[in-house]
């Protein structure tokens, strides 16, 4: 039982980090009707910025963390201004494909910089305790995972406050409800679009750091980790912020349970699920949820007129 709880907690922590990426997807989709496939690249870019400032430019790690996150947010803003502003009103799918193009561009430059060797981010999580982890009773916790869980919790609280209390949060909610009506009420919709991408970039960078910090190094394949948050968004519903969080937790727990219990299950049923089954398991859950609720668990059902 204690093993199960341990695995479950790891799943929750993983899900919390996924939720940062998923929230980026959802906020951008809600505000601008764009499904951003550039999010994984932004996450890797954020980690790249942090790595550059902390290890190559020799700035204090915590300072370079902040610089890296803000720079990634600004990159998101830049993408919105230069590329996506041209595409307002085009079919959703064309816009989604254009973000794939952006993703390819960012990753080409980033891969060139990363090179073949994995890079450490210059943080001190590796040096804490026993291999970056500590124990309470039977349970083993990784500092980085706990930090990720904590950061995700704080970010979600802040976002909640932002949407409830601030003018721009309200403007963003209004825009996501109806762009034209929001425009008619005097909301600067263009600025809201930019803000959504800025927040999306910030969240991606934070997630990127947690994915690649500590013993998890930054490699050319790091972006895949962020791409795994995609089924979470589908499960929760593309336009639902609570949905993104719940979906991410489901994905995180599934992935961690599937990872640890794959071999017992294979032994018991005498089947072979294959190497790396844990990364495919979320997609299987996604299939089933799409079959039952095509708009996702918390998504709003689209009302269509002929």
Partner 1 sequence: MKDRLDFYNSYKDEHRIFNNRVQRFWAIFGVLFSIYTLIILNDVWLFLLTLAMMTTIGAWGLNIVSGFAGQISLAHGAFIGIGTYTAFVVGGNIGSSVLSYGLDMAIWLPLSGIVPMLFGILISPVTSKLKGLNLGLFSIGIVYFVLHIFQNFRTVTGGSGLGRKSPDFVLLGFNFENGITIGNLVLNESNLIALFTFLILILSGFGVKNIARTKTGRAFFSIRDRDIAAEALGVDLLRYKGTAYAISSFYAGICGALLFTFTGGVEPNQFNFVYSVTFIAIVIIGGAGTVLGPLFGSFFFILMPTVIQEIIHFFGLFEQSSFLNLAQIERLVFGIFIIVFLIFEPRGLWGIWFRLRNYFKAWPFSY
Point out which residues bind partner 1 (CB under 8 A). Answer: 35, 83, 86-87, 90, 92-94, 96-98, 100-105, 108, 111-112, 227, 230-231, 233-234, 238, 272-277, 279-280, 283-284, 286-287, 290-291, 294-296, 304-306
In terms of CB distance, is 66 or 97 closer to partner 1? Answer: 97
In terms of CB distance, is 136 or 303 closer to partner 1? Answer: 303
CA-CA distance, 241 to 124, in Å (whole number)?
32
Nearest distance from residue 141's CB to partner 1, in Å?
Answer: 30
Nearest distance from residue 99's CB to partner 1, in Å?
Answer: 9
Nearest distance from residue 139's CB to partner 1, in Å?
Answer: 31
In terms of CB distance, is 151 or 273 closer to partner 1? Answer: 273
In terms of CB distance, is 146 or 273 closer to partner 1? Answer: 273
In terms of CB distance, is 130 or 272 closer to partner 1? Answer: 272
Nearest distance from residue 36's CB to partner 1, in Å?
Answer: 11
CA-CA distance, 134 to 8, in Å (whole number)?
17
CA-CA distance, 203 to 197, in Å (whole number)?
10
In terms of CB distance, is 244 or 286 closer to partner 1? Answer: 286
Nearest distance from residue 276's CB to partner 1, in Å?
Answer: 7
Strand-pair partners of 133: 130, 142
Nearest distance from residue 238's CB to partner 1, in Å?
Answer: 6
């Amino acid at each position: 039982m204690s093993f199960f709880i341990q695995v479950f907690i790891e799943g929750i922590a993983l899900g919390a980090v996924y939720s940062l990426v998923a929230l980026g997807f959802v906020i951008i989709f809600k505000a601008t009707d764009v499904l951003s496939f550039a999010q994984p690249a932004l996450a890797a870019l954020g980690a790249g910025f942090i790595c550059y400032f902390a290890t190559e430019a020799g700035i204090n790690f915590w300072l370079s963390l902040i610089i890296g996150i803000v720079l990634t947010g600004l990159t998101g803003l830049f993408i919105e201004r230069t590329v996506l502003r041209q595409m307002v009103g085009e079919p959703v799918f064309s816009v989604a494909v254009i973000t794939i193009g952006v993703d390819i561009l960012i990753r080409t430059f980033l891969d060139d910089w990363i090179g073949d060797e994995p890079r450490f981010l210059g943080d001190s999580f590796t040096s804490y305790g026993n291999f970056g982890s500590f124990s309470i009773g039977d349970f083993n916790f990784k500092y980085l995972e706990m930090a990720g869980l904590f950061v995700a919790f704080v970010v979600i609280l802040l976002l909640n406050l932002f949407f409830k209390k601030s003018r721009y949060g309200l403007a963003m909610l209004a825009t996501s409800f109806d762009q034209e009506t929001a425009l008619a009420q005097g909301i600067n919709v263009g600025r809201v679009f930019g803000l959504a991408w800025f927040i999306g970039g910030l969240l991606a960078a934070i997630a990127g750091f947690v994915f690649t910090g500590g013993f998890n190094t930054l490699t050319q394949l790091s972006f895949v980790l962020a791409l795994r948050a995609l089924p979470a968004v589908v499960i929760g519903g593309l336009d639902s912020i609570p949905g993104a969080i719940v979906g991410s937790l489901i994905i995180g727990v599934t992935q961690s349970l599937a990872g640890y219990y794959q071999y017992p299950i294979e032994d018991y049923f005498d089947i072979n699920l294959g190497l790396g089954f844990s990364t495919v398991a979320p997609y299987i859950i996604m299939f089933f949820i799409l079959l039952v609720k095509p708009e996702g668990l918390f998504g709003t059902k689209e009302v269509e007129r002929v």
